[in-house]
């Protein structure tokens, strides 16, 4: 590693936003480094995708593979298994620290996405990866012909239920709200399936078992009962991976605040995708925001080269 090297652009994350930003940067001839835990991000965890333009149907892992195939065609340096711990602005440079080293760039795009929100109930930590998981795409096949529970009532929970009802013996959907949320077409598919039981106005209070999950305790209308399940899939929302940028302004949810040009409050630092406050967390929206961020970073670099330090709009 050349510690004295200064990249034109460093992109944090390689989900739909980060990958798209990298492709656009490469096409503009911007020297770019991508730092990421994995390639594909949350898109790789999705099940069936039917609303990504150009694909009437594609699975999450297949789309993630297409993303990676696309970015590998360009001269983009991608470093996987390297999580960013801190990003700070120092003078005209952006300093980025990981567990493996430090990097310097003239601009940066934060596309670090979100992570699964935890239940915060007794037994969750003890049974993590022992029957309790946060990814139906990753771990669903392990529960073939078993009774499982999906915790949540939004699109991510519905997606998990749709994947599991093809594999599991029976699927319980435990939803804290009075009704399921998410897209109508997904709700209809889940409710109509004979292998699915929806428990609305219900809350998990404990995960139980010996060596592995054997059930969950659920409170409904003030009464607590036990569901005998061997698998628990937690799908109660996501938390933005924004802690790495302490100087960047965020909202009450921890999402990075950006304007319509993907600019943060720090000059030269842009953000895109699910880590930001942009409405609707969708793969196609994240990809579009990644393209915008890359184009804005290119414009910022061009103005710097001309000695223009304003945040004026590009023509």
Active-site residue list:
135, 138-139
- If you compute the radius of gyration of the chain from its CA atoms, what whole number of angstroms results? 21
Which tokens belong to 121? 């109930």
In whole angstroms, give the CA distance from residue 47 to residue 68. 18
* Length of the chain in terms of residues written: 315
State the number of CA atoms in the 13 A half-sphere of 297 facing the CB. 35
The values of phi and psi at residue 11, to 5°, are: -110, 130
In whole angstroms, give the CA distance from residue 274 to residue 210. 37
Question: DSSP states of 26-47 as a string?
Answer: HHTT--EEEE-SSSSGGGGG--
In whole angstroms, give the CA distance from residue 254 to residue 257. 9
277 DSSP 8-state letter:
S
CB atoms < 10 A from the CB of 90, how many? 8
Which of 89, 21, 95 shows the shortest CA–CA distance to 276?
Answer: 21
Which of 153, 155, 160 shows the shortest CA–CA distance to 183?
Answer: 155
In whole angstroms, give the CA distance from residue 54 to residue 219. 43
* C-alpha dihedral (50, 51, 54, 58), degrees to nearest 10: -30
> Whole-angstrom distance between the N-terminal and C-terminal Cα of the chain?
37
Tokens 């656009």 label which residue? Answer: 24
């Amino acid at each position: 590693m050349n510690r004295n090297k200064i990249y034109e652009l460093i992109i944090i994350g390689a989900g739909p936003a980060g990958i798209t930003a990298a492709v656009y940067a490469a096409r503009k001839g911007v020297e770019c480094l991508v730092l990421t835990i994995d390639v594909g991000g949350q898109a790789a965890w999705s099940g069936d995708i039917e609303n990504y333009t150009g694909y009437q149907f594609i699975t999450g892992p297949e789309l993630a593979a297409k993303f990676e195939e696309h970015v590998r065609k360009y001269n983009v340096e991608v470093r996987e298994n390297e999580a960013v711990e801190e990003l700070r602005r120092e003078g005209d440079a952006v300093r980025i620290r990981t567990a493996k080293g430090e990097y310097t760039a003239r601009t940066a795009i934060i596309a670090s996405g979100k992570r699964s929100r935890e239940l915060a109930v007794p037994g969750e930590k003890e049974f993590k990866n022992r029957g309790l998981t946060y990814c139906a795409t990753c771990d669903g096949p392990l529960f073939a012909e078993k009774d499982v529970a999906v915790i949540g009532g939004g699109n991510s929970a519905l997606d998990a239920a749709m994947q599991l009802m093809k594999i599991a013996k029976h699927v319980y959907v435990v939803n804290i709200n009075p009704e399921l949320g998410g897209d109508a077409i997904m709700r209809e598919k889940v409710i109509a399936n004979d292998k699915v039981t929806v428990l609305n106005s219900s809350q998990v209070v404990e995960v139980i078992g010996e060596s592995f999950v054997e059930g969950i305790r659920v409170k409904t209308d003030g009464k607590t009962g036990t569901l005998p399940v061997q698998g628990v899939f937690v799908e109660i929302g996501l938390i933005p991976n924004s802690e790495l940028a302490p100087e960047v302004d965020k909202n009450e949810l921890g999402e990075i605040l950006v304007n319509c040009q993907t600019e943060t409050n720090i000059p030269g630092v842009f953000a895109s995708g699910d880590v930001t406050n942009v409405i609707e967390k969708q793969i196609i929206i994240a990809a579009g925001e990644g393209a915008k961020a890359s184009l804005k970073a290119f414009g910022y670099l061009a103005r710097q080269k001309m000695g223009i330090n304003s945040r004026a709009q590009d023509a």
